[in-house]
A and B are shown apart, each in its own frame.
Chain A
Amino acid sequence: MEKLLRNNTFSGWLMATPLTIVLIIFLVLPIIMIVVVSFWQATEFSIIPAFDLENYEFLFGSPVTYKVFLNTFKYAAITWFFTLTIGFTVAYFLAFHVRSLTWQIALFLLCTIPFWTSNIIRMISWIPFLGRNGIANSALISWGVIDEPLEWLLFSDFAVILAFVHLYTLFMVVPIFNTMMRIDRSLIEAARDAGATGVQILWNVIIPLTKPGIMIGTIFVVTLVMGDFITVRFMSGSQSANVGRLISNDIALLAYPSAAATAVVLLLTVLIVIGVLLRFVDIRKEL
């Protein structure tokens, strides 16, 4: 037994068994199930096993699909831009301007705590700000900027993007901060000794060395936004759609085969995007 355990292959497999079982039952099999069901037919009351391309024909034949996919990419791109800008600035401040490690850890924790609280509550908490009689509108009116309350603050694309940025900026802060903390400080000193200005150090030294962190953050933000359905539904007041909502609407109508077909296309899209991003970073080396 001891000899067997010393064998790397055997003990590796043994240790990985629970993980493999969980992932097979709750990840691999469900994906296979979705792919299979996407070829089935649906009646009003039930779904029937078949091999039918109808779901895909309908999906690719409908102009709504393209519009919704385009909208999903739009949300992802805009959210990515804002989370990256804000996340990079925050991480840069923490890593290079806060001088004591204790303060760095304390402020970093302050940035991550909301991640461990409920997303739904954090969405709800925008209502008193953005509502018709909310804080934003009252403030703008009392400052004389506007006369009428703005209607597009809540239940709009603006609200959706705001909520995305609010929910997901920490996914940028954490990996970028992590990579920045591993940058050898003597490189920055060397750049300064060689006469580089602050901006030059930022652009030619820090940003290139932070790229892996940026990539990991990008993977998180892009996949979370592309797979989301609840933020879009809640913050747009059901007025905007992304692919996730297309799927959840089909589910609500019990049109599982059609939901499955959309899900397959969404999964492929996400995996292609991630596949491209992973070419730029080796995740395991960066942890």
Chain B
Amino acid sequence: MEPRPRSFYVLAGFFTLFLLFLYGPTLTIGILSFQGPEGGLTFPMRGTSLHWFRDLFEQQAVGDIWGSFRRSFALGLMVMVTTVVVSVMGGLAFRKRFPGSLVLFYLIITSLVIPSILISLGVGLMFSQTRIQVHWATSGFGSQLTWTLPFGLLIMFAIFNRFDKSYEEAARDLGATSWQTLRHVVLPIIAPSLIGVALFGFTLSYDEFARTLLTAGSHNTLPLEIFGMTTNVTTPVLYALGTLTTAFSLIMIGFFLCITWWSAKRRAKAGSDAGKGMV
């Protein structure tokens, strides 16, 4: 292998700085959340303790953190499942050039680029004018879908752009119906990539703020609760909460990545027997 050019080391340094920029602040509040009981929002650390985490579990004066966490988690799962199902169906639909597909495509792009506060405002107005109560599981759920579905569909487009159509043709030549082709050929092939769609669905919903602002109703989701805290909480309890939800996000991301890795490994193991021969 040829020796690395000098530019490699410069760029590697730049990349390291970028990672530091990306993760440094989060690590800092991770450290500061272990402040002693006397400590403040900045360094120096006045001792180390779990005081602020304990605060989070005990005092409920800061709001309904656990209730909002449960709601965010449930909503995340709802959005995740819906995003996967609707994106797969949408992705399959776009493989056929049906009339109106271009309009639908531009709607997806609009959904992606529209400022979040417009969805919040529009859905909120629509519900209030028709006298339907806004609720995180109805209006909040739908508003979040306008953010997760475009990502899900873009991933589906990417998957189907790389999809080898000859598998389907082979199935059809062997007499499979279109449903059988879908069920036994297409879906198993794209299944691992759907984990990615699920990851986007869950995490984007779990952290969504702007689109749920006016559509969550009287029960807050976790990001709304945290935002409420930023205006009136000035102790490291804010950092403790931030550390916990970031840790939770990281666990979920790790979980999804592990499934992807595991399914890729399983597939490699069970891989093709082409060329191994029966005779």
Binding site for B on A (CB under 8 A): 2, 5-6, 8-9, 11-20, 22-23, 25-31, 33-34, 37, 86, 89-90, 92-94, 97, 99, 107, 109-111, 113-114, 116-122, 124-129, 131, 133-135, 138, 166, 169, 198, 219, 223, 226-230, 234, 244, 247-248, 251, 256, 259-260, 263, 266-267, 270-271, 274, 278, 283-284, 287
Residue in A26, A34, A117 whose CB lies within 8 Å of B26:
A117
The CB with the most chain A CB atoms within 10 A, among B14, B122, B204, is that of B122
**Contact mask B21-59 → A, CB, 8 Å, 1/0?**
111111011001000000001110000000000000000
B100:A259 contact, CB within 8 angstroms: no
Q: Which residues on B sit within 8 Å (CB–CB) of A234?
A: 230
**Stretch of B62-70, B141-149, B186-194, B270-278 contacting A (4+ beta carbons < 8 Å):** B141-149
A124:B230 contact, CB within 8 angstroms: yes
Task: Provide 6 A-B residue pairs closer than 8 Å at the C-beta atoms, listed in order of the A residue.
Answer: A11-B178, A34-B122, A99-B1, A256-B125, A263-B121, A274-B113
The CB with the most chain A CB atoms within 10 A, among B90, B92, B100, B209, is that of B90
Q: Interface size bucket, B side?
A: 35 or more
B96:A131 contact, CB within 8 angstroms: no
**Within the assembled complex, what's the spacing in Å between the Cα atoms of A5 and B158?**
24
Chain B stretch 97-137: residues in CB contact (< 8 A) with chain A: 97-101, 104-105, 107-119, 121-123, 125-126, 129
A284:B104 contact, CB within 8 angstroms: no
B178:A26 contact, CB within 8 angstroms: no
A27:B114 contact, CB within 8 angstroms: yes
- Chain A contact surface mostly: helix
B253:A9 contact, CB within 8 angstroms: no
Q: Which residues on A sit within 8 Å (CB–CB) of B177?
A: 2
Residue B73 lies at the interface, judged by CB distance under 8 Å to chain A: no
Residue in A19, A118, A227, A266 whose CB lies within 8 Å of B149:
A19
Residue B197 lies at the interface, judged by CB distance under 8 Å to chain A: no
B28:A129 contact, CB within 8 angstroms: yes
* Nearest B residue to A234, CB-CB: B230
Residue B19 lies at the interface, judged by CB distance under 8 Å to chain A: yes
Given contacts A2-B177, A117-B26, 5 further A-B contacts (CB under 8 A): A13-B100, A34-B121, A118-B223, A124-B242, A126-B25
